[in-house]
Amino acid sequence: MERRSFSFPHALFLLLLLLIVCELPALVLSSGAGKQFNHSVPALFVFGDSTVDPGNNNNWPTPFKGNFPPYGASFLNQAATGRFSDGKLTTDFIASYLGIKELVPPYMNPSLEQHEMMTGVSFAFAGSGYDPMTAHTSGVVSVPQQLDYMKECVTKMENAVGKAAAAKIMEDSIFIVSAGTNDFVISYHLLPFRKQTFTPQEYQQFILDQLRVFLKGLYELGARRIVFAGLPPLGCLPVVMTTSIVDALIRQCIDSLNMEALIYNSKLQNMLNEIKANELKDARLAYADIYFTLLDAIKNPSKYSFEETKRGCCGTGLLEMSFLCNPGTLTCPDVSSYVFWDAIHPTQKIYSLVANTVIQRVLHLLLQ
């Protein structure tokens, strides 16, 4: 198979800045999301980017939001909550399966109640990443900085139930981290600065070093059950295919970007295994692979009753996302037949498949 390299036409540079809000789901799971798990997990805490942001960007000074129609078209009462999809996210399905609650709320919700905080929240911001430059570009909070809000949350829990009880909640809860796509697609391949400093291999190591520091900070706060999602097939995002000089018309996944994601994912798995074996021996660390699950849906759509894998449901499906996917934008007649909701974010159906895979392949590693 011919290898195609990744390159952006200069005329689309400004438009591609919109990609700051874009990330593919960094979690993938398979069936069983409809059943509840009986094991006692008191809370689900979430960090990352738009794949797991249920609305933190709604209450943050950034233009990149998803709290307006047609976002939420498949949600209860077609509510646009700030989730970058037509409906629920992977973490919503997992929280429901664990019997915690139906939806994971955003920590930045000004009306967040204490009982919601105690059973888990999402600290994720659309447009974020492990690289501080990624979040700075979009004016949001980086994944490492999201730890500051977790610390604040721990203090609130201690004030509510005492230090011992709060520590027990942290020990027994599950923590999910889903990020990285923005770092590679935006900060490295779109913007010029990181390429001037890092080779592709060096940038991968830079991201892994940021992730390692974040993991240890989370551990110091008391977290012991932690899931890190890998990268999706970056070269298969509709907007990336659209803006590639070679692939805009033929609309095929860009092999070089997909290979980059595979290499990073392998390094991430190795690092987690090394940390678990040598440093944080009492922690249960797990890797969630989304790459092959999403790629399977793209390459074998009939297996999942999908019909469209190269465009999003919103508008033309080639470039629309965030404010380009707005109340005046037409959508496809049957979102369940689409892999992508907008030009980069998946549909609720994909998020459900991802959640099911995590449930079957990952959760037992944390709960045994």
pLDDT band at 87 (very low <50, low <70, confident <90, very high): very high
Strands (E) in the chain, as ranges, are 44-48, 174-178, 225-229, 284-288, 308-312, 338-340
**pTM, whole model, 2 decimals?**
0.91
Amino acid 244: pLDDT: 73
To the query of whether residue 345 is one of the catalytic residues in this protein, the response is yes
Q: Which of 50, 96, 122, 178 is catalytic?
A: 50
Question: Which residue pairs, CB below 8 angstroms and at least 24 apart, start in 160-164?
Answer: 160/114, 160/118, 161/118
Q: Which of 310, 145, 127 is nearest to 218 (CA)?
A: 145
Amino acid 190: pLDDT: 87
To the query of whether residue 74 is one of the catalytic residues in this protein, the response is no
Asked if residue 342 has pLDDT above 50, the reply is yes
Query: Could you give the angle at the alpha carbon of 56 between the alpha carbons of 141 and 135, nearest 5°?
Result: 20
Task: Enumerate the H helices of 279-347 as residue ranges.
Answer: 291-299
Asked if residue 12 has pLDDT above 70, the reply is no
Pairing relationship of beta strands 338-340 and 308-312 according to DSSP bridges: parallel
Amino acid 117: pLDDT: 96
* CATH architecture designation of domain 10-367: 3-Layer(aba) Sandwich (3.40)
Per-residue pLDDT, averaged over 24-43, amounts to: 56
pLDDT band at 21 (very low <50, low <70, confident <90, very high): very low
Condensed to tens digits (0 to 9), the pLDDT of residues 136-172 reads 999 999 999 999 999 999 999 999 999 999 999 999 9
Query: What tokens appear for 23 in the block?
Result: 């990330």
Tokens 């593919």 appear where? Answer: 24
Where exactly are the structural domains of the chain? Answer: 10-367
Tokens 């080639």 appear where? Answer: 318
Condensed to tens digits (0 to 9), the pLDDT of residues 184-231 reads 999 999 888 999 999 999 999 999 999 999 999 999 999 999 999 999
Q: Which of 173, 187, 247, 345 is catalytic?
A: 345
Q: Which of 205, 269, 201, 265 is nearest to 234 (CA)?
A: 265
DSSP H or E stretch at residue 249: helix 247-250
Condensed to tens digits (0 to 9), the pLDDT of residues 89-126 reads 999 999 999 999 999 999 999 999 999 999 999 999 99
To the query of whether residue 183 is one of the catalytic residues in this protein, the response is no
Asked if residue 242 has pLDDT above 60, the reply is yes
Q: Which of 86, 128, 342, 352 is catalytic?
A: 342
Amino acid 192: pLDDT: 86
Condensed to tens digits (0 to 9), the pLDDT of residues 280-305 reads 999 999 999 999 999 999 999 999 99
For residues 157 and 40, the model is more confident at 157
CA-based R_g, the chain, Å: 19
